[in-house]
Amino acid sequence: MYKGKKVIAVLPAYNAALTLEKTYREIPFPLVDEVILCDDASRDETAKLAKKIGIPHVIIHETNKGYGGNQKSLYNKALELGGDIVIMLHPDYQYTPKLIPAMVNIIGDELYPVVLGSRILGNGALKGGMPVYKYIANRFLTFTQNVLVNHKLSEYHTGYRAFSREVLEGINFNQNDDDFIFDNEMLSQIIYAGYGIGEVTCPTKYFEEASSINFRRSAKYGLGVLRVSFNHFLARIGLRSNMKMYKKK
């Protein structure tokens, strides 16, 4: 608990057996009250290991629903369990759980209702091994997104995120795509709804066991990001005001 607020960490997992336990052991208990893992039809023993190391809530998708579909299951479960602060932590150990207290403090003290762990602040991305082409694409997409959505973030593409309950209940994240573009649709919704977003410097690690999408999927993702941002721009200037994803529940 943090100042009477229930803290839940959610782990979207796919073939994470090699890094899951290391990630889980670094979660700062007892600040984090509950941990939920969703295994998106992994081909390894991710779900079995999650239960073995004591993760209390393990959701298993019998068929792969995608990165976005995984998150939908996690956020819905976190709300069902009464989470007030929900942190998404990748179980591939690419992001350190040691930043959870800082992210919880920011939301718990009502400084910002959303916090992103930025790999760009502090020049941590390239130092951590981010491929140069991904870094360049990140910078280009982030610049374009900032212009189109009329906001200013250091990056929109981090997978380390924390949300207040108010935010998760105030946006239609269940309307979003089931693939990787889910993350950017969610940020678009958050910005459109007027919620503030804080950022913290986040070191990152790229290594063989860490999950990463290939060049083809990265290109598809990039095009999807531009589509989401352009649609946000149209909604912002009143030309797409009927879009379901931008309406609160």
- Token code pair at residue 73: 């299951």
For every residue of 49-114, DSSP letters joined together read: HHHHTT-SEEEEESS--HHHHHHHHHHHHHHHTT-SEEEE--TTSSB-GGGHHHHHHHHHTTS-SE
Average pLDDT (48-77) is 97
> What's the longest Cα–Cα distance across the chain?
52
Alpha carbon 121 to its chain centroid, in Å, reads 17
Residue 182's H or E segment, with its range, is helix 182-192
Give me the mean pLDDT over the 207-220 stretch.
68
Taking residues 144-163, report their average pLDDT. 96
Q: Please report which confidence band the pLDDT of residue 210 belongs to, taking 50, 70 and 90 as the band edges.
A: low
Whether residue 132 has pLDDT greater than 80:
yes
Mean pLDDT computed over 68-84: 98
Instruction: Please give the single-letter amino acid code of residue 165.
Output: R
pLDDT at residue 90 is higher than 70 = yes
Question: Across residues 185-203, what is the average pLDDT?
Answer: 95
pLDDT, residue 223, reads: 94
Q: Is the pLDDT of residue 249 over 50?
A: no
- Checking if the pLDDT of 231 tops 80, the result is yes
pLDDT class of 133 with cuts at 50, 70, 90: confident
User: Does pLDDT of 207 surpass 70?
Assistant: no
**Averaged pLDDT score across all residues of the chain:** 92
Domains and CATH numbers, the chain: 7-246 (3.90.550.10)
The pTM of this model reads 0.92
pLDDT at 245: 66
